[in-house]
A and B are shown apart, each in its own frame.
Chain A
Amino acid sequence: MNKTWLVLRNGIISQVTRKSWLLVTCGLPVLLALIMLVPPLLRGNPSGASASSEPVTSPTVEGYVDQSGLITRIPDNVAGLLRPYSDEASARRAMASGEISAYYLVPADYVESGDLAYVLPDPKAFSLDGQSWVMRWVLLVNMVGGDEGLAQRLQNPVNLRVRALTPSTGPEVGEGPAYWIPYTTAMILYIIIIMSSSLLRSSLGDEKKNRVLEILMVSLSPQQILTGKVVALAVVGLLQTAIWAGTGYLLLKVAGGTINLPPASQLPVAVVLWALVFFILGYGVYASLLAGLGALTGPNVPGSSTADFVIIWPMIIPVFLMTIIIPNVNGLLAVLLSLFPPTAPVAMITRLAVGGVPWWQPVLSAVLLGVTVALVFRVVARAFRAQVLMSGQAFTSRGYFALLMGREEPDTRSDCSNVGLE
Chain B
Amino acid sequence: MPRLWLIAANEYKRHVLNRGFLFAVLSVPLLIGAMIGLIMLMERMRVNNRPVGYVDLSGSLVTQSDSTNAGPVQFVAFPSEDLAQSALEAGELQAYYILADDYEQSRKVELVFVQSPGDNASAQFYDFLRLNRLHKDARADWPLSLDLVGRRVVEGTFVTVRSADGVRVYNESYPVSFLLPFFIGLGFIVLLTSTSTTLAQAFAEEKENRTIEVLATSVSPGQLVAGKVLGISAMGLTELGAWVAAVSVLLGILSRINSWGWLAIIWVHPRTLATIVVVAVPTYVMFAGLMIALGSTVADVQESQQIGGVLSLLFTLPIYATEAMVEHSTGSLAIGLSLFPFTALVSFCLLTGFSSVPWWQVGASVMILTLCATGAIWLAGRAFRLGMLRYGKRVDWRELLGRGSRVPEPSGSPGRRGIP
Contacts and interface: CB of A to CB of B under 8 A. Distances in A.
8 contacts: A120-B162, A125-B353, A144-B149, A150-B137, A158-B109, A161-B110, A165-B85, A303-B20
B57 to A, nearest CB: 14
Given A136-B157, A144-B142, A145-B143, A117 B45 contact: no
B333 A43 contact: yes
Contacts of A140: 153
Contacts of B161: 118-120, 123, 128, 130, 132
A115 B301 contact: no
Contact of A163 (B89, B112, B156): B112
B111 interface: yes
B108 A161 contact: yes
Contact of A145 (B38, B112, B130, B139): B139
B170 A128 contact: yes
Contacts of B405: none
A136 B304 CA distance: 57
Contact of B420 (A136, A324, A422): A422
A163 B110 contact: yes
Interface string B61-96: 000000000000000000000000100110000000
B134 A154 contact: yes
A332 interface: no
A161 B111 contact: yes
Interface string A116-156: 11111111111111101000100110111101001001101
Contacts of A119: 161-164
Given A42-B324, A43-B324, A163-B111, A143 B129 contact: no
A122 B329 contact: yes
B106 A159 contact: yes
Interface in B3-24: 18-20, 23
A43 B328 contact: yes
A95 interface: yes
Interface in B133-176: 133-134, 137, 139, 141-144, 148-149, 152-153, 155-164, 168, 170, 172
Given A114-B158, A302-B18, A127 B324 contact: no
B108 A124 contact: no
A127 B328 CA distance: 12
Interface of B: 18-20, 23, 34-35, 38, 41-42, 45, 85, 88-89, 106-116, 126, 129-130, 133-134, 137, 139, 141-144, 148-149, 152-153, 155-164, 168, 170, 172, 178, 209, 301-302, 305-306, 320-321, 323-324, 326-329, 331-333, 353-356, 420
A324 B18 contact: no
A19 to B, nearest CB: 10
Contacts of B129: 157-158
B99 to A, nearest CB: 9
Interface residues of A, number: 74
A-B CB proximity, top 8 nearest: A125-B354, A39-B324, A157-B129, A158-B109, A159-B107, A42-B333, A145-B142, A299-B302
B346 to A, nearest CB: 14
Given A118-B162, A144-B149, A125 B111 contact: no
A162 B98 CA distance: 10
Nearest to B324: A39
B19 A303 contact: yes
Contacts of A163: 110-113
Given A123-B161, A123-B163, A320 B20 contact: no
Contacts of A145: 139, 141-143
A123 B162 contact: yes
B23 to A, nearest CB: 6
A73 to B, nearest CB: 11
A419 B324 CA distance: 52
Given A156-B107, A160-B109, A123 B20 contact: no
Given A165-B88, A165-B112, 18 more contacts: A42-B328, A43-B324, A51-B327, A70-B144, A114-B157, A115-B160, A118-B162, A119-B163, A125-B170, A129-B159, A136-B157, A140-B153, A147-B139, A153-B133, A158-B126, A161-B110, A163-B113, A165-B89
Given A124-B329, A159-B107, A299-B301, A116 B157 contact: yes
B321 A39 contact: yes
A5 B54 CA distance: 69
A362 B168 CA distance: 52
